[in-house]
A and B are shown apart, each in its own frame.
Chain A
Amino acid sequence: MSTSAAASASAVGIESKIRARGLNAWYGVFHALKGITLEIPARRVTSVIGPSGCGKSTLLRCLNRMNDTIRSFRAEGELLLDGADILRETDLVRLRKRVGMVFQRPNPFPLSVFENVAYGPRIHGERNRGRLAEIVERSLAATGLWAELRDRLAENALALSAEQQQRLCISRLLAVGPEVLLMDEPCSALDPVATRRVEELMQELKRDYTIVIVTHNMQQAARASDNCGFMWLGELKEFDETGTIFTRPKDPQTEGYVTGRFG
């Protein structure tokens, strides 16, 4: 069990949005998350790093219960969102409205730009055209897309550039009014310039949202996140402020990974 991570978890003395204690998860008999304990602070960017297959995505997908569709998947332990149990939440619609997710490959629906952003509000019952238009404009503006796309709202979203598509996916998420944004390697399909723009966007968004980002890009974690967790074979080895993880890691494996000695 990862006691070292537990110790450092409460180091930051700010309001925490998500709290995990002894979180375990399995795919069938494969133990994918082993006693994860951490506190994700509200309105900060928290990054999760670690070698491929260590369970980063699994951890992220626990937070909005996206793994429910995988039959063999099972999770146990304590996982709280504002003090309420995520794993025992019965209203998945409400949970996913609060905890939204951006995927590795931009995945806008093959619908128009407008319909993509209006999709969330629509399924949650918004029918009023005027209010929908308002939400679409506000959500696109929040990612800087409104200025670029205001005249192309009727265009198929798949015709946009990869970076615009990813920002559209973020807009689509903002339209349902979430509190937490989960991003699983959101920049891995983007070029360096586009990556920088998404990182800048995260800095703006963290004023209003709690952001958790999984990344393979060490510089990205260092640049864009306030807190950082290092995972290794299903364990959270170390969780601390990003500066500490990259300059004075306590765990030798963390040090090895961030200095590029392995991974």
Chain B
Amino acid sequence: MSSLPPAAEDLFLRPRSVLLERIVEWTIRSSAFVVIAALVLIFVFVGKEALPILTSSAVHEEVDLVRMVAPLESGGFSWQPVSTVPKYSLLPLFLGTLKVTLVALLFAIPVALGAAIFTSEFAPQGIREVLKPVVELLAGIPSVVVGFFALMVLATWLQDAFGLLLRLNAITAGLGLAVAVIPIVYTVAEDALTAVPQVFRDGSFALGANRWQTAWRVVLPAAMPGVFAACVLGAGRAFGETMIVLMSSGNAPTVSLDPTESFRSFSATIAAELGEAVHGGPHYHVLFFLGAFLFVVTFGLNLAGHWYVGRLRDKMQGKSRLASRGGGR
């Protein structure tokens, strides 16, 4: 300690600590600003390249919004951007994306929620400490590795097991995609379940409920907004994931909801075609338009997910919607 009297010490310290505080504050502020700026710039860039779809007459000679959505003059819907008469129907890509996302979620959500409930409500401390990091480690597997696994191993298994006609289809890709989705749903849901205060469980046990009843009727409903957020974030991930789908979908833009048929997704289309599309041509702009669409949808899903996590916090503090609407007592 210094031997200066307190007042003098104050004199020396105050300006320096204020300066330090300012520097720290500005560092934090500017890094937050950089992140937001990057996000905005990405969106501006993608949006700028997508805009000619709406505005450019040169592009309109080949494609416009109506032709992307309505049936073709030749009948039907097809995505053939590099044929002599380029066709840009979005329906095949939309159905493909929808199909694979649904298969992935149908598989990932039960598995992830089951694992999350097991981890937070049933597993002994030791298992819990291992299980959570291991599942979260799954998220770190590069998607190209998962895609490769789906392409080489999963496809063969599934074909042998179910006698499928095609190796690469929405079931194969959906299961591969589930590997990427499970860790997200699991982590967010597990956090939500663990955040449910122990006193709720005690209250339930004290009424004679067993672990199942407590998990199912008290903990899960209490954590619902967070669990829902987990599913929404998982959907966002499934929707935007590219490499796994690109490798294991068969990449055929079919108009079909049959999960055993090959398909093509929005994201895989962009990845596969952008490198070959003529810079500034209609095809190029269409791909950016798809990119902007993906961006908006995944951004929206993430936003919704985080909003629901916020709801969870309110719920835990007793700020129900009913209560706030009901006003004073």
Most B C-beta atoms less than 10 A away, residue of A93, A154, A156: A156
Q: B258 in the interface, Cβ–Cβ < 8 Å?
A: no
Q: Tell me, in angstroms, the Cα distance from A169 to B209 when the chains sit together.
A: 15
CB contact under 8 A between A96 and B203, given known A109-B222, A123-B217: no
A257 at the interface (CB under 8 A from B): no
A96 to B205, CA, bound (A): 8
CA distance A37 to B203 in the complex (A): 28
A109-B203, A110-B222, A123-B217 in contact; A155/B208 too (CB < 8 A)?
no
Which residues of chain B come closer than 8 Å to A101, judged between CB atoms? 206
- Determine, out of B129-137, B238-246, B273-281, B311-319, the stretch whose residues face the partner at the interface: B311-319
Q: Which residues of B contact A123 (CB under 8 A)?
A: 207-209, 213, 217
Question: Chain B 281-311 against A: per-residue CB contact (8 Å), 1 yes, 0 no?
Answer: 0000000000000000000000000000000
Assembly CA distance A110 to B314 (angstroms): 11
Closest to B324 in A: A159
Q: A109-B222, A110-B222 are in contact. Are A159 and B203 (CB under 8 A)?
A: no
Is A20 on the interface with B (CB-CB < 8 A)? no
Q: Quick one: given A66-B206, A110-B222, A176-B207, are A103 and B199 in contact (CB under 8 Å)?
A: yes
A79 CB, nearest partner CB in chain B, Å = 17
A161 nearest CB across to chain B (Å): 8
- Which residues 3-28 of A have a CB within 8 angstroms of B? none
CB distance from B309 to the nearest CB of A (A): 15
When the two chains form their complex, are residues B207 and A156 in contact, meaning their CB atoms are under 8 A apart?
Answer: no
Interface residues of B in 189-223 (CB under 8 A from A): 197, 199-200, 202-210, 213, 217-218, 221-222
Q: Report the minimal beta-carbon distance from A194 to chain B, rounded to whole angstroms.
A: 14
A64, B206: Cβ atoms closer than 8 Å: yes
Chain B residues with Cβ under 8 A from A93's Cβ?
A: 208, 210
Contact A155 B205 (CB under 8 A): no
Asked whether A69 lies within 8 Å of B199 as measured between CB atoms, the reply is no
Asked whether, in the complex, the Cβ of B322 is within 8 Å of the Cβ of A155, the reply is: yes
Partner of A92, one of B199, B208, B319, B326: B208
Whether A94 sits at the interface, judged by CB under 8 Å, is: yes
State the CA gap A159–B217 with chains docked (Å).
19
For B316, list chain A residues within 8 Å (CB): 110
Q: Are B206 and A96 within 8 A (Cβ)? A: yes
A105 to B316, CA, bound (A): 14
Contact status B199-A156, CB under 8 Å: no
B203 in contact with A169 (CB, 8 Å): yes
State in angstroms the CA–CA spacing of A92 and B207 once bound together. 10
Please, which residues of chain A bring their CB within 8 A of the CB of B203?
Answer: 103, 107-109, 169, 172
Asked if A100 lies at the interface with its beta carbon under 8 angstroms from chain B, I say: yes
Q: Is B320 part of the binding interface, using a Cβ–Cβ cutoff of 8 Å?
A: yes
Query: A158 CA to B200 CA in the complex, in Å?
Result: 12
Known: A119-B217, A123-B213, A158-B317. A109 touches B204 (CB 8 A): yes
Contact, CB under 8 Å: B315 / A107: no
B322 close to A156 (CB less than 8 A): yes
Cβ–Cβ < 8 Å partners of A158 in chain B: 315, 317-318, 320, 323
Produce 1/0 per residue, A119-142, CB < 8 A to B. Answer: 110111000000000000000000
Q: Which residues of B contact A111 (CB under 8 A)?
A: 218, 221-222
- What separation, in Å, do the CA atoms of A142 and B319 have in the docked complex? 27
Does A33 lie at the interface of the complex (its beta carbon under 8 Å from any beta carbon of B)? no
Interface residues of A in 157-181 (CB under 8 A from B): 158-159, 161, 169, 172-173, 176
Across the interface, name the chain B residue whose C-beta is closest to A148: B329
**Which of A110, A119, A154, A155 lies in contact with B207, CB distance below 8 A?**
A119
What are the residues of chain B within 8 A of A161 when measuring CB–CB? 329
Which residues in window 12-48 of B have CB below 8 A to A? none
A110 touching B200 by the CB < 8 A rule? Answer: yes
A97 within 8 Å of B (CB atoms) = yes
Asked if B206 and A100 make an inter-chain contact with CB atoms under 8 angstroms apart, the answer reads yes
Chain B residues within an 8 Å CB radius of A173: 206-207
The smallest beta-carbon distance between B215 and chain A, in angstroms, is: 12
A97 near B208: Cβ-Cβ < 8 Å: yes
Q: Which residue of B lies closest to A120 (CB)?
A: B207
Q: Which residues of B contact A94 (CB under 8 A)?
A: 208
Q: How far is the CB of A135 from chain B (nearest CB, A)?
A: 13
Give complex CA distance A95, B323 in Å.
Answer: 36
**A156 touching B318, Cβ below 8 Å:** yes
> Bound state CA distance, A45 and B228, in angstroms?
45
Q: Which of A100, A110, A122 contacts B315 (CB 8 A)?
A: A110
The 8 A-B pairs of least Cβ separation, nearest first, read A158-B318, A156-B320, A159-B323, A96-B208, A107-B199, A101-B206, A93-B208, A120-B207
28 A-B Cβ contacts within 8 A? A66-B202, A66-B205, A92-B208, A93-B210, A96-B205, A97-B207, A97-B208, A100-B207, A103-B202, A103-B206, A107-B203, A108-B203, A109-B203, A110-B200, A110-B221, A110-B315, A110-B318, A119-B217, A123-B209, A124-B208, A155-B320, A156-B323, A158-B315, A158-B317, A158-B323, A159-B318, A159-B319, A172-B207
A-B contact sample (8 more), CB < 8 A, given A66-B205, A176-B208? A66-B202, A96-B205, A96-B207, A109-B222, A110-B318, A155-B320, A155-B326, A169-B203
